[in-house]
Each structure stands twice: as C-alpha cells, then as structure tokens.
Structure 1
C-alpha cells in the first residue's frame, strides 16, 4: 500500500511543483511555506487549492495535519479538505478539480443547501470537471463540535486510506473517540489519479505532516 505524507511532499519538492489555485491567471488563496508548514492565509478565498503531482494507483494512504488559523469564528462558515485521485489540475479559478473526489470537513451555521447539515459535517463531493462537482454524501458531526472548539489551536491529524478493491476510504477518527468510519466512493474501484490537493473555503489554515522533520 502506497503512503503519501501530503504536506511533506508539497514542501520538500521543488517550489515550482507546488501550484496555488489560478497558476498564471491570478491565484486564489494566499499560500506560503515556512519551515515544515504550508499556510493558506486568506480568510475570504472560497476555492483556495494547492496541489502536487503524485501518481496514485491501487490502495493509498494520505496523511497530514490541519491547524485552524482564523476565519470561521467571524462569519460562522468555513471548510477544509483534500482532493484525491485527480486526473488533472485547474489552469484558473475553479469549483471542481478535474475527475477527482473531495473529502471535506465543513462548518456552516446557516447552510443554504438543505442537504448539508447545520454546524460541523463531513461531506463527500464527486468532481467531474473544473466546473462541475456534485455532493454525494453528507454526515452531521455536531457531536464533535465541542471537541473541535477546544482544539482550534492544535494540529489535528488526518489519516485517510483509499481501499482500491472496495471503492472506499477509511477515515480515522482524529478525536480518538472511535476507530473511524468507512466512506463509499461510488464507482471508484481501482481508480487512479495523478494529482492531490489540499483546499480551504472561507478560512485560514496550515498543514503539516505527522512524524516528519524537515
């Protein structure tokens, strides 16, 4: 099983291989690297993405940490997540990211979409192009809101395992209250991709990789 230590991969490759969303057409988000941490410092950017070319085939493990740096408390809305198994990267500002899956941690006190739970939730989107992305699963995580609020200044570890033969991702519980949960990605059995991206919406965040010193 292949393992991607995401933030470390982004930071240790040549700087020219890490692209902010927009590339030569005006970046979305304010990305910078400091030491062993990747920062997105714009609270207003709705589709900020940074990606790297990483061939993905068979079962994969994605590991990274996320730390909240600001934004959500001001307007009650924000999110962070990861695109996996993408076949391309966007040339400009984009809603989706080619043919890929987005695993998303969302907080919205007043969601406009009735299919998105109020408060903290876990969402799965299927991206079919840079312009089109469909919500395929939404799970309320309101029971974790108090824990999340207490850990806003901490690096929260995320470990996601894509099981190629089953078309599922196992998401480990970062709170330690349970082992985690299996998430179905319909029609994704034996899927592969060339790019991985971290992404934010309406919040500042920083990313590192666990157990990696740079």
Structure 2
C-alpha cells in the first residue's frame, strides 16, 4: 500500500514528499501572529486562544505528519497547548473554534481546566470537528506521568512529533523519540475511508515555532 508522507519542510510549511519540484501549498494565516523566520514557522501571540494556520494538502489513505515544535513563551499562567487538525474538508480563513469536518489532535497543559473532562496538568485530547463553530471531545488522556519532562532544558528544545493516520482504518499512531519503537494508538472516524483537503496547525495561550 502506498504511503503518502507529509512533512513540515522549508519555511515550516507542509509539502508532500513527491519530489523536489513540488510547489509549496496554499496556506492562510487565519488567526494569531504567524511569521516565517528563517526555516521556522512562528506563532508569537502568547494570549491568543484560537491561533491557526490553514494549509491545503490533499489527504487520503495512510498519512504521516512529521515536524518539530519548540516552546517560545506564554506558559507563565500554566496554561497552553498546540495541535493539528487532520483530514479537514474545508478551511475558515478567520478565527474559528473548529475546522470544518476534521479531527483535532491536541496536547495541553492546564493547571485549572474549566471542564471536568480535561485532566489537570498535562494531557492530550482528540476532538471531532463538526463545523467551524462546533467540536466534540472524543478522547482525553492524562499525561501527568510525563509532566516532569516540562523542564527548562526541554522547553528550549525542538521536540520531534510524528503522527501516523490511516485514513482507511482510522487508526492513529503517535510516536515519541523519547521512547524509540513505542507509540500510542487509537481510532478516529466512523469506519468509512476519510479524505480531506486541509490541515490546520493551531496553538492556545502560548507562542510556539514549528519546522523540520
């Protein structure tokens, strides 16, 4: 089965790895203070809760989303997060809560969450986006066993992220270089093959940068 690899490449943008001649995809800085600086994509608004950049990438079948992320500030209030919408059928060019029909994979730190469904401290969530204005929480995972990794040294590091999504079966695997060969997995979708034209990278209450 052919696997399509999507990567954050030069200037921090997602490009299919089909060859060096491929043009960069269409993108929209929809909300927040996004800048392309050197070989990294920065979101510099530490207070914006719905920062988002839309990137047009056709998606179907097995996909790999690989990039690195670095914390740039804003966590002094012990609240912040980042994530990526995958298999989005549409994109809203301005501020929005959801991102069309898609799934949001989210990493979150919140010392005082407003919802009982979100664990206090470090956690991960999966949301099903129904529209640009509605998302439903599908899964929430307590990650406080790993909260000790949020130290000053690691916060200054570029943390690799690799997410494998099988658009046919709905299986998602998330890998960490901290534990080679180890991954967590779960399922999204309704059992039918997924297709999408957009991804959306977003942050909440923190500044961050992204690249290869």
Q: Distance in 1 between matches of 2:118 and 2:105?
A: 14
**What's the CA shift for 1:147?**
1.3
Counterpart position of 1:190: 193
Matched, 1:43 2:46: yes
Counterpart position of 2:59: 56
**What's the CA shift for 1:165?**
3.1
* TM score, norm. by length of structure 1: 0.88
**What's the CA shift for 1:34?**
1.1
2:160 aligned to 157, 161, 176, which one? 157
Structure (1/2) with the larger helix percentage: 1
Q: Distance in 2 between matches of 1:42 and 1:7?
A: 22
Structure (1/2) with the larger strand percentage: 2
1:179 aligned to 167, 182, 185, which one? 182
Residues 174 and 194 (structure 1), Cα distance of their counterparts in 2 relative to 1, 3 Å cut: same
Counterpart position of 1:68: 71
2:93 aligned to 91, 94, 101, which one? 91
Q: Aligned pairs, how many?
A: 201
**What's the CA shift for 1:7?**
4.7
Counterpart position of 1:108: 110
* TM score, norm. by length of structure 2: 0.89
Q: Secondary structure at the match of 2:150?
A: helix
**What's the CA shift for 1:180?**
1.1
**What's the CA shift for 1:10?**
1.5
Runs of 5+ consecutive residues of structure 2 not aligned to the other structure: 16-22
Runs of 5+ consecutive residues of structure 1 not aligned to the other structure: 22-27, 210-214
1:208 aligned to 189, 208, 211, which one? 211
Q: Distance in 2 between matches of 1:39 and 1:4?
A: 19
Say what the alpha-carbon RMSD is for the aligned residues.
1.8
**What's the CA shift for 1:186?**
3.6
